[in-house]
């Protein structure tokens, strides 16, 4: 159970860091994407926004999982 908590916190921290960096770079976040969808304006996003949201962000979250798994393995050896 503690292992899952460590992995969850790791994913959360990676997501927060990614969202901070992306906001500083001016790339759309999921909040921007959902806002555009609810306003029926999905074409307001660029190709880079879509690449980030559907390719790079999930990869970053996966790396957050790997980081948390690595940390939990170090702790519980």
pLDDT per position as a tens digit, 28-50: 999 989 998 888 877 788 999 99
The pTM of this model reads: 0.87
Task: Provide the pLDDT confidence category of residue 17 given band limits of 50, 70 and 90.
Answer: very high
Burial of 56 (0-12, 13-18, 19+ CB in 10 A): middle
Instruction: Supply the pLDDT for residue 44.
Output: 84
- Alpha helix ranges (H) inside the chain: 2-25, 30-38, 47-51, 57-75
Q: Which residues contact 11 (CB under 8 A, 6 or more apart)?
A: 61, 64, 65, 68
Residue pLDDT, tens place only, 50-67: 999 999 999 999 999 999
Integer-rounded Cα radius of gyration of the chain: 15
């Amino acid at each position: 159970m503690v292992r899952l908590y460590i992995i969850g916190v790791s994913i959360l921290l990676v997501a927060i860091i990614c969202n901070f960096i992306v906001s500083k770079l001016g790339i759309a976040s999921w909040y921007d994407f959902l806002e555009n969808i609810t306003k029926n304006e999905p074409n307001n996003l660029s190709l880079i926004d879509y690449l980030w949201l559907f390719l790079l962000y999930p990869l970053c979250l996966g790396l957050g999982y790997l980081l948390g798994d690595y940390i939990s393995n170090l702790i519980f050896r």
